[in-house]
Amino acid sequence: MRLGIIGLPNSGKTTIFNALTGQDLETAAVSSGQFEVHTAVVNVPDARIDKLTAMYNPKKTIYATITFADIAGMDKGISEGGLKGQFRNELQQVDGLVHVIRAFESASVPHPYETVDPQRDLNIIDGEFIISDLISVENRLQKLNDELRIKGKKAEGEVGPQIELMNRLKAALEEETPLRDLDLTADEVKSLRGYGFLSLKPVILVFNAGDGQQVDPALLDYPHKNAYATVLQGKLEAEIAQLDAEGAEMFMAEFGITERSAAKVIRLSYELMRIQSFFTVGEDEVRAWSVAVGATAPEAAGTIHSDLQRGFIRAEVMAYADLIAAGSEAAIKAAGKFRLEGKEYVVKDGDILNIRFSPAK
């Protein structure tokens, strides 16, 4: 999973990036306005992996990971004529967005629009994305209509449904409605993946607050789907991210922080994008894998290796909670909670799987 960190200049995008990733990138008092991208891969915190590691004492422990990309260069007017080049490519490639909205006051870090106004700042970026998507939809409609005019009735069966879908998107965007608000079917969403529509991507709104500042994200007017809001004390948490575990714990206790920013945003990301974790365990390796909520056992096997999905026979399944309660695999089998599941089995969060498969000949 790859999340893009976006926001207006001087909103604290790089500070939040540092807080999430433990990096120590320099933050400028005044944004350069230039296009830059910084990326970092972060382990997904999961106490279940720690307990499984203690139980199996494996040679390797591998956490699920998430990639954060700090994408600079956002500002009013960026969508004029449509987003282009590397900037558009970077935004299209992310699975979701972390939109940093400035809530802090600072005389040394001037706001590009002079005053701190989270609602205005949110509307600016949302508006740019809607404009960008509308330009893309109109361009696609023109090509489809040209194809229909040239090929005539032969193209109606294939092109007609696409034109109908694009007209639905166009109508929504002209009403300034993000595409994530539409009730699109799974097949329609799949057909749109190649376009990288920005207002279709799920988003986490992060209010970047000052030290000790109280911010209520519920006061923001944002009645849109596939969006969560949270508050981080960016500067403070970026400093915590540079400390060792003991120092971070003391610092958090002093400032009343109960959950690290990375853990909070990753947890929201999993919920927002309907991702869950399953595990594989053994003396060689204990590992967490990310899979979509609702995935079947063969689909989960495919995240481990495509050969496991192609040759899938059965999945040996233990629930994490059952294993911890029993204390060992032998005890869980004795309790009758070790199961064999077939191709229709829907994987649950915390399942421990061992895949039985037939090797390709």
What does the domain layout of the chain look like in residue ranges?
Answer: 2-151+158-271, 294-357
- The answer to whether 272 touches 224, Cβ cutoff 8 Å, is no
pLDDT tens for 73-101 read 678 877 776 666 677 788 888 999 999 99
When pLDDT is cut at 50, 70 and 90, the band that residue 18 belongs to is very high
CATH superfamily of 2-151+158-271: P-loop containing nucleotide triphosphate hydrolases (3.40.50.300)
pLDDT value at residue 74:
76
Distance (Å) of CA 9 to CA 15, 125, 140, 141, 347? 12, 11, 31, 33, 42
pLDDT of 135 higher than 80:
yes
> CATH classification of 294-357, choosing from 3.20.20.70, 1.10.443.10, 2.40.110.10, 3.10.20.30?
3.10.20.30
pLDDT tens for 275-322 read 999 999 999 999 999 999 999 999 999 999 999 999 999 999 999 999
- The answer to whether 125 touches 31, Cβ cutoff 8 Å, is no
- The answer to whether 68 touches 5, Cβ cutoff 8 Å, is yes
Distance (Å) of CA 100 to CA 5, 6, 11, 169, 349? 7, 6, 6, 26, 29
Q: 296-315 burial string, b = 16+ CB within 10 Å, else e?
A: bbbbbbbbbeeebbebbebb
When pLDDT is cut at 50, 70 and 90, the band that residue 220 belongs to is confident
